[in-house]
Amino acid sequence: MNSTNPIFNHITLNYLSKCQTLNSLLQVHAQMVTTGLTLHTFPLSKLLQSSATLALSHALTVFNQIPNPTIFLYNTLISSIISSPNPRCETHHLAFSLYERVLWNKDVKPNSHTYPSLFKACCGSHPWLHHGLALHAHVLKFIGPTYDGFVQTSLLNFYANVGKLGAARYLFDQIRNPDLVTWNSMLSAYARCNSSSSYYYVSGVTDEDTSLSMEALCLFNEMQKSLVKPNEVTLVALVSACANLGALSQGIWAHVYVGKFNIKFNYYVGTALVRMYSKCGCLDLAYQLFDELPERDILCYNAMIGGFATHGYGHKALQLFEQMKFQRLVPDDVTFIVTMCACSHVGLVDEGCEIFESITGDYGKDPKLEHYGCLIDLLGRAGRVQEAEEKLKGMPMKPNAVLWRSLLGAARVHGNLKVGEVALKHLLELEPKTSGNYVLLSNMYASIDRWEDVTRVRKLMKDHGINKMPGSSLVEVDGAMHEFLIGDKTHPWSEHIYLKLEEIGRKLQEHGHKPRTKEVLFDIDEEEKEDALAYHSERLAIAFALIASDSTAPIRIVKNLRVCSDCHESTKLISGIYGRDIIVRDRIRFHHFKNGTCSCRDYW
C-alpha cells in the first residue's frame, strides 16, 4: 500500500479513532459512504477495527456487505474481535467462524497475519485449546515450514501457555534472531512453572520446577549475550525464577539491574521483587520494599500478606489485610487464601473462620475449592479434626486430593486414626500412585506403635510399585546453587561433607538429641534408621554450608518436601551449637532456626 495515497490520510479516518459511541460511529460511517471511502480496503479496515470495539454487530453488518473481502479484511476483523477489551467465548466462536469462511473461500488464502490472533484465542480460553494443534497444521499447510517471526512467536506462546514447554523451546531455538517479545515469551513460560502448583504461597520445589527455573536463568544469560535489552517483563520473569529457586544473590542482582538500567519500576516489577525477597527468606527486605512502593495494588498486597503468612507472622498479615481494605482495595480470591493461610500457620482459628465467612457475607462471593482447602487446613492444624472432616464433607463441590491430604496430615499430627483412615481411602481413589499419602498413614501408625499396620501400608506401597519421593534441598553459597538428595555423594565436596556430618552427629548427641526413627520408612535396624536421618538432604546442605560459607552468613535452604520432625529438632540444636541462623523453606512454610529455637514454635 502506498501511504502517500490521499485515502490513507483522509480527514474522515481521523474521526474514527475518536468515536466513543455507536451513534458517533454511524455518523462517521455515513460520511465515509458519501465520500466513497468504503470502496477502498484500507478505510474499510479502519471502520471494522472501530466497529468491533464499539458495536460488534455493526462490524459484522459492514463486513457482510463487502462483495469480495480480501484476506487483509478477514485478518483485520478476526484480530479486532479477539483483541476486544472483553473477549468472550461467543466472540472467539465468531472469530473461528470467520476463519472457517476463509478456508471455504477459493478467492482468499490464509497468510502469516491470519494466525497470531487465533493462537492467542487458543491460549486464553479453554474451549479453544484443542484448536491450537489444528492451527499449527494449517500453518504448515498454507504458509509452509519457513513461517515468519510473528507466527513463530504466537506458536511459542500457545505451547508455553498450555504447558508444552519442550515444544515452545524447540520453536524458540528455530528463531534465528529472537526479538524482545520472543525472549520474554520463553522466559515467562519458564518462570510460570511453579506459580500455580499449590494453594499456598510457598510450595515445594520439584525436580521439574528446579530445572525450569534454572533454564530461565541460563536463558537470560543467553539473552544478555544477544545484546537484546531487557525490559520490565524480562525482569519479572527473571526475578520469579530466582524466587522459585530461593536464589537470593541472583535476585538481588536483578533488583540492582532494574535501578541501574532504568527498567520501568511498575506494579509487576515491585510485586515480583517483594515475592522474591519473601521466598528467599528475607522478609524484612520484602516489607521494606513493599513499604517504599509509591502505589500498591491488590497483587502487591497479596504478595506481602503471603510473605507474612509463610514466615509465621499471622498478626502482621491480618493488620496488612485490614490496611488493604482501608485503602478501598477489594480482596480477590488469592487475598482470602494467603490471609487464611496466615491464620492457619499460627493457630488464629476464629480469625481465619471469620475471613472464610466474609467471602460470602461481606463480598457476596461463593468460596472456591482453594478457600475450603484453607479452612480444612486451619481447623485441622488446630486439632479440630472432626470439624474439619464435617466441613470437607459438607462442601458444595467434590473435594480433591489436596483437601483429603490436608485432613490426613491433621489426623496424623493429632492422632485421629479413624479420620486418617477415611482420608486415605479417598486419597487412594484419587491418587493411587502418590507416595506421600501412604507415608502419612504409615507414620501415623508408627507414632502409636501399630507396627503390623505399618507393615501392611508398606506392603501396599510395594505391591503398587510405589517408592517414597526422595527429598532434595537447594542451598545457595557465594551466589551458586547446590542441590542435594538424601544420601547424596555426587557433590565434589562429598568427603568433607560427610566428615562434617559425623562431627554434627557427635555434637547433637552431646546435647542430648535422640533421633526420631519411627517415621523412617525402611525395614532396617535402629542404627541404620539413625544413619538414614543423618543423611537427609537438608542435613547434607547444612553440613556443606557450614564448611563452604562465611561463618556469619545465614544458611538458606529450599526443600521439596515437608521438613521431618527429626530434622526440625536437630536443626534447632545445630543453629545453637554452631551459632548460625538457618532458614529452611519447605513445601508449606518457612522455618527460621536461631539460637536453638524455630520461628514456627513447633506449630507446623
The pairing of strands 582-585 and 555-559 is parallel
Residue-wise pLDDT for 385-412, tens only, equals: 999 999 999 999 999 998 998 998 898 8
Residues 6+ apart with CB under 8 A from 455: none
Q: What is the Cα–Cα distance from 294 to 220, expressed in whole angstroms?
A: 28
Residue-wise pLDDT for 415-450, tens only, equals: 898 998 899 889 888 888 777 778 877 877 877 778
What amino acid occupies position 205?
A: V
SS3 539: helix
Q: What is the pTM of this model?
A: 0.84
Return the pLDDT at 385: 94
Kindly state the DSSP code that residue 602 receives in the 8-state scheme: T
Phi, psi of 198 (to 5 degrees): -150, 155
Q: Give the distance, in angstroms, between the CA of residue 492 and the centroid of all CA atoms in the same chain.
A: 32
- Residue for grid cell 527473571: 238
Residue-wise pLDDT for 526-575, tens only, equals: 444 444 556 789 999 999 999 999 999 999 999 988 888 888 999 999 99
117 close to 87: Cβ distance less than 8 angstroms = no
Cell numbers describing residue 397:
463441590
Taking alpha carbons only, the member of 159, 114, 117, 165 closest to residue 141 is 114
Return the pLDDT at 196: 44
- Residue 538 exposure: Cα atoms within 13 Å on the Cβ side: 28
Residue-wise pLDDT for 88-115, tens only, equals: 666 778 888 999 999 999 889 999 999 9
- Type and span of the H or E element at 591: strand 590-594
- pLDDT level of residue 366 (50, 70, 90 thresholds): very high
Q: Which residue has the higher pLDDT, 339 or 561?
A: 339
Cell numbers describing residue 517:
526413627
- For 590-598, which contacts have Cβ atoms below 8 Å and span 24 or more sequence positions? 590/202, 590/281, 590/310, 590/311, 590/312, 591/563, 592/281, 592/311, 592/312, 596/572, 597/572, 598/568, 598/571, 598/572
Return the pLDDT at 157: 87
Sign of CA dihedral 492, 495, 498, 499: negative
Phi, psi of 542 (to 5 degrees): -65, -45
